[in-house]
C-alpha cells in the first residue's frame, strides 16, 4: 500500500487519466521469453555441427601426419652393426653391377646404294663383380671381334626405331655371352650410338 501526500492510503499507484494498461497478450510473454533465450543460444545447430566436423577433421589430419611421419605407431628404427653395414654395401654393389667399357667401334654399314653409311658405338658391358670384370677383360679382343663382324652386316633400316635398337642390344648381349668364357654378363649398355 502506498500513502500519498495527503495521508490517504491507496492500494495501487495513481494512473494518469486516459491511459489504461492493456493486459499483456499471450504472444508477448512468449516473445519476451524467447529474446533472452536467443541471446544465450548464439550458435545455431548447423553452426555447431560444422565446427565439430572441422575439429574432428583437423584432429584426424594431425594424427595421420604423426603416424605417417613415424612419430607414433611406427616401428623402432634398428641400428646396423659395422658388419651388417658392410654386408648391405656388398649387396648394393652386386645389385648395381660393375661396368667394363668396350673400346669405341666404328664400322661401315651394309648398303645397296652408292652412298656409304657409318655406325659409331660406345658400349659398356655389365657384370656382377670386379673379379668377373677382370676375367671379361681377358676376353675383350674376342668380344670386339664378335661385335665388328655382326655390326658390319647391319643395314641402315635395321637400326631404325626403338625396336631396332632393342634388337641390336639383344644381339650384342648374346654375342658377348658366347665369348665371355663363362663369365655371367648382365647387360650391354649403349653410351653412344651415331649413324651417319
Q: State the pLDDT at residue 129.
A: 87
Task: Give the residue from 193, 184, 131, 136 showing the smallest Cα distance to 165.
Answer: 193
- Confidence check: pLDDT of 82 > 80: no
What average pLDDT does the structure give for the chain? 76
Query: What pLDDT, on a 0 to 100 scale, did the predictor assign at position 76?
Result: 46
- pLDDT band at 74; cut points 50, 70, 90: low
Average pLDDT over residues 127-143: 89
Contact (Cβ atoms closer than 8 angstroms) between residue 44 and residue 37:
no
The structure's pTM equals 0.50
> What are the cell numbers at 44?
545455431
H or E stretch covering 96:
helix 82-96
Question: Measuring CA to CA, which residue among 92, 152, 95, 87 is closest to residue 118?
Answer: 152
Question: Does the structural domain 97-195 have CATH classification 3.30.465.10?
Answer: no
pLDDT at 36 over 70: no
What are the domain boundaries of the chain?
97-195
The strand pair at 9-10 and 2-3 is best described as: antiparallel
**Between 28 and 147, whose confidence is greater?**
147
The residues, ordered by sequence, that sit 6+ positions from 155 with a Cβ below 8 Å of its Cβ are 109, 110, 111
Instruction: Between 26 and 53, name the one with better pLDDT.
Output: 53
Least confident window among 9-18, 39-48, 95-104: 9-18
Amino acid at each position: 500500500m502506498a500513502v500519498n501526500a495527503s495521508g490517504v492510503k491507496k492500494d495501487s499507484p495513481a494512473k494518469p487519466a486516459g491511459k489504461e494498461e492493456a493486459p499483456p497478450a499471450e504472444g508477448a510473454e512468449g516473445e519476451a521469453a524467447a529474446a533472452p533465450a536467443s541471446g544465450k543460444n548464439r550458435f545455431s545447430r548447423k553452426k555447431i555441427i560444422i565446427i565439430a566436423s572441422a575439429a574432428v577433421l583437423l584432429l584426424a589430419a594431425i594424427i595421420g601426419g604423426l603416424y605417417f611421419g613415424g612419430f607414433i605407431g611406427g616401428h623402432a628404427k634398428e641400428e646396423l652393426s659395422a658388419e651388417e653395414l658392410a654386408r648391405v654395401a656388398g649387396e648394393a654393389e652386386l645389385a648395381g653391377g660393375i661396368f667394363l667399357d668396350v673400346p669405341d667401334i666404328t664400322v661401315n654399314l651394309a648398303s645397296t646404294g652408292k652412298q656409304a653409311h657409318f655406325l659409331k658405338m660406345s658400349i659398356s658391358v655389365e657384370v656382377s663383380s670386379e673379379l668377373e670384370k677382370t676375367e671379361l677383360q681377358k676376353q675383350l679382343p674376342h668380344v670386339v671381334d664378335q661385335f665388328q663382324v655382326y655390326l658390319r652386316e647391319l643395314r641402315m633400316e635395321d637400326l631404325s626405331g626403338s625396336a631396332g635398337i632393342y634388337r641390336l642390344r639383344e644381339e650384342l648381349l648374346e654375342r658377348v655371352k658366347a665369348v665371355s668364357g663363362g663369365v655371367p654378363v648382365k647387360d650391354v649398355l649403349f653410351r653412344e650410338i651415331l649413324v651417319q
